[in-house]
Each structure stands twice: as structure tokens, then as C-alpha cells.
């Protein structure tokens, strides 16, 4: 999904299929002063598992396997947006900005990885050129992520999380709301497998939106609330195969992609008839307005499925 007025962002969802069910409470309102949407029980659960983050055949094996899928989706959507920007610059007679190579497609961008855990996505983003900050409410997770990054000479850790340095990373033990309250904003914000672990998804999504600069992009991944997702992620992965600790997932907290899209459309007005429109819209040499951003570039949801009994998603 891309934040207006410039454009909107892409959201990725681990959707399995659509099912008729009651939407989660995505329309609550709360006072923001010192509020946090985190679920203390979930933070404690993942803190207990923190030492296993970099065991690629252990508890977090699914996240390691999914990481390359997420990276490819991000690269594809950023390439599409850069292609659109280049085409617009060309028809308006402006200089076409150079595109980074696939190996550094995040170069020049500031990025926030919410719920960064052990740093699986955060490290990948730094290697791909981003100035990335990982934020996690678990101090144990941040310690594990920092130690792991320190052991890799190819990674550059920033002493100051606010410093802008390409190909670098920093970790902060805090909530996303704390960064929002400090006025922080980023070109790219990711929240992978996070929204299903917060107790107030509506406030969390508002916080995510506030952390994105106008024209920036949001990438999210979560699990759809379907019968199949219950079978795969809870009955099969937790209860039967025991490849994931019991209690990691709560099916009632899963969110369907159409619910996320509706929230950004109806509550945040990021797109749709009542979306904020850019001022001073550019026109072509003949005076005609430029074409609006295609809906596909305003947001997109995709589904993929991870089967615990298979090696790849």
C-alpha cells in the first residue's frame, strides 16, 4: 500500500482462501498518549523462544523459508513503482531517475521493520541497501538480533538508530507506538506476522500508517482466518507435528486480506473515492491531466501457503 497524497502501498497477505467469518475489531478508538497495542502474553512467548531465531531448521524455520518470498514481493512492487515514476518523468519531460540494481533495490530508502524478532528480514534489507531499523518490544529478541549482526562482518550496525546510512541496520527495544510518538517516519515500513499478535489491531494499523512518509510503502504479512489456516498453522504445526510451540498462534486473531484493505480504504482513506488527493496535479504538455496511479500500484494482496511437511512454501 502507498500512503497518499503521492501514492499508496502494497500489502502482502499469507492468504489461503476466503471464508465467511466475523471481522476482527478494526474500528476501535483509543487515547494515544502512552498507549501500546502489544500483547504482553505474546511478547513473553517470543522472548522465551528468542535463542532459536537463527536455527533455520527449528521453531522459526517457516519464517526463514518465507523471507525470500517476502523479499521478492517487495522488489517486484518497488520496481513497478519506479517504472511508473520513470514513465511519468519521461512524459513530463523530466530527468528519469536511475534505478538501483536488483542486488541493492532498497538503496537510498529508510526502512522500519516492526516486530523484527531475531532480524531475519532486517538483515536481508540491510544487505539490499536499506538504512533499516528493526523495532521489537522484546529486549531478548533485540539482544539476539544485535549479537547475530555483530558476528557478520558484511553487516554494518549503526550506533544511532536515527542516523541515515545506506547498507546499515540498527535495533531498538521499543514499541512501534513509541517511535510514532517521537515523530519518526520511514520510506518503507514492514510488519511481517505481527498484526495477528497484537491485542488492538486497529490502533496498530493506525500506528503503522503514521510511521510511513507520504508516498512511502507498507508491506504486511499475516494469516487469513480460514478453516484451512487453522488446520495448517495450529492443528498440524502446533498440535500434531509440534514444529511450532503450542500457543504461538490464536486463530481468532487472524485477519483476512479484505479486512485489511477495507481498513486502509474506509478508516484511513488511503485510497478510494474519499482518499486524499495530491495538490497541484501535474498536467501533460497539452494541458491534459496525467493518468491516475493504477489501482494495482495503490495496493495488492497475494496469497501463499506454507505446508509444515514440505521444505518450501
The predicted pLDDT at position 271 comes to 84
Give me the mean pLDDT over the 267-281 stretch: 68
The predicted pLDDT at position 242 comes to 85
Q: SS3 for 143?
A: helix
Residue ranges of the binding site = 70, 115, 136, 192-193, 196-197
| Percent residues over pLDDT 90 in the chain | 50
Q: Is 14 a residue whose pLDDT tops 60? A: no
Residue ranges of the binding site for S-adenosyl-L-methionine = 70, 115, 136, 192
User: What's the mean pLDDT when you consider all of the chain?
Assistant: 82
User: Which range (96-100, 156-160, 185-189, 275-279) has the least confidence?
Assistant: 275-279
Q: Exposed (0-12), middle (13-18) or buried (19+): which is 186, by Cβ within 10 Å?
A: buried
Q: Could you name the CATH architecture of 40-100+108-275?
A: 3-Layer(aba) Sandwich (3.40)
pLDDT classification of 132: cutoffs 50, 70, 90: very high
User: Which range (26-35, 58-67, 153-162, 300-309) has the least confidence?
Assistant: 26-35
The predicted pLDDT at position 309 comes to 55
Give me the mean pLDDT over the 136-149 stretch: 93
The predicted pLDDT at position 172 comes to 97
| Percent residues over pLDDT 70 in the chain | 78
pLDDT classification of 275: cutoffs 50, 70, 90: low
- CA 16 – CA 14 distance, rounded (Å): 6
Cα 271-274-280 angle, rounded to 5 deg: 85
Q: Which long-range contacts (CB under 8 A, 24 or more apart) does 100-106 make?
A: 100/129, 102/75, 103/128, 104/128, 104/129, 104/167, 105/74, 105/75, 105/78, 105/79, 105/129, 106/74, 106/78, 106/130, 106/132, 106/188
The predicted pLDDT at position 279 comes to 47
User: Which range (37-46, 65-74, 116-125, 134-143) has the least confidence?
Assistant: 37-46
Select, from the ranges 149-158, 273-282, 302-311, the one with the highest average predicted confidence (pLDDT): 149-158
75, three cell numbers: 522488489
The predicted pLDDT at position 150 comes to 94
Residue spans of beta strands (DSSP E) within the chain: 110-114, 131-136, 168-173, 186-192, 212-221
pLDDT classification of 259: cutoffs 50, 70, 90: very high
Give me the mean pLDDT over the 121-132 stretch: 98
Q: Is 278 a residue whose pLDDT tops 80? A: no
Q: Go through 276-306 and write b for each residue having 16 or more CB atoms within 10 A of its CB, e for each that does not.
A: eeeeeeeeeeeeeeeeebeeebbbbbbeeeb
The predicted pLDDT at position 244 comes to 83
Q: Exposed (0-12), middle (13-18) or buried (19+): which is 198, by Cβ within 10 Å?
A: buried
User: Which range (149-153, 176-180, 216-220, 304-308) has the least confidence?
Assistant: 304-308
Torsions phi, psi of 112, nearest 5?
-120, 125
Q: With the CA atoms of 135, 139, 140 and 144 taken in that order, what torsion angle do they form, in degrees rounded to the nearest 10?
A: 50
pLDDT classification of 11: cutoffs 50, 70, 90: very low
8-state DSSP, 223: B
Higher pLDDT, 150 or 28: 150
Q: Is 118 a residue whose pLDDT tops 80? A: yes
Higher pLDDT, 282 or 101: 101
Give me the mean pLDDT over the 14-30 stretch: 38
Ranges of each domain in the chain: 40-100+108-275
Residue ranges of the binding site for Mg(2+) = 193, 196-197
Q: Is 203 a residue whose pLDDT tops 90? A: yes
pLDDT classification of 115: cutoffs 50, 70, 90: very high
Amino acid at each position: 500500500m502507498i500512503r497518499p497524497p503521492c501514492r499508496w502501498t502494497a500489502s502482502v497477505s499469507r492468504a489461503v482462501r476466503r471464508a465467511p467469518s466475523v471481522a476482527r475489531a478494526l474500528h476501535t478508538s483509543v487515547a494515544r498518549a502512552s498507549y501500546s497495542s502489544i500483547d504482553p502474553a505474546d511478547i513473553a512467548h517470543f522472548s522465551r523462544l528468542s535463542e532459536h531465531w537463527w536455527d533455520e531448521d527449528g521453531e522459526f524455520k517457516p519464517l526463514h523459508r518465507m523471507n525470500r518470498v517476502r523479499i521478492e514481493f517487495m522488489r517486484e512492487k518497488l520496481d513497478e513503482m519506479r517504472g511508473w515514476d520513470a514513465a511519468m518523468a519521461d512524459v513530463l519531460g523530466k530527468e528519469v531517475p536511475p534505478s538501483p540494481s536488483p542486488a541493492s533495490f532498497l538503496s537510498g530508502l529508510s526502512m522500519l521493520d516492526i516486530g523484527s524478532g531475531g532480524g531475519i528480514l532486517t538483515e536481508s534489507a540491510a544487505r539490499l541497501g536499506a538504512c533499516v531499523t528493526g523495532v521489537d518490544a522484546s529486549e531478548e529478541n533485540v539482544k539476539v538480533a544485535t549479537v547475530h549482526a555483530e558476528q557478520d562482518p558484511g553487516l554494518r550496525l549503526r550506533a544511532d538508530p536515527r542516523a541515515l546510512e545506506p547498507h546499515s541496520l540498527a535495533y531498538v527495544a521499543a514499541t512501534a507506538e513509541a517511535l510514532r510518538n517521537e515523530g519518526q517516519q520511514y520510506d518503507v515500513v514492514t510488519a511481517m506476522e505481527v498484526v495477528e499478535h497484537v491485542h488492538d489491531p486497529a490502533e496498530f494499523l493506525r500506528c503503522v500508517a503514521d510511521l510511513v512518509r507520504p508516498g512511502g510503502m507498507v508491506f504486511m504479512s499475516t494469516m487469513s482466518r480460514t478453516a484451512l489456516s487453522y488446520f495448517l498453522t495450529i492443528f498440524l504445526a502446533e498440535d500434531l507435528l509440534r514444529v511450532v510451540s503450542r500457543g504461538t498462534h490464536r486463530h481468532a486473531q487472524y485477519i483476512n486480506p479484505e479486512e485489511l484493505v477495507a481498513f486502509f480504504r474506509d478508516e484511513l482513506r488511503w485510497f478510494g473515492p474519499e482518499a486524499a488527493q495530491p495538490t497541484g496535479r501535474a498536467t501533460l504538455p497539452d494541458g491534459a491531466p496525467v493518468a491516475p496511479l493504477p489501482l494495482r500500484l495503490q495496493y495488492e494482496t497475494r496469497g501463499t501457503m506454507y505446508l509444515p511437511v514440505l521444505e518450501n512454501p
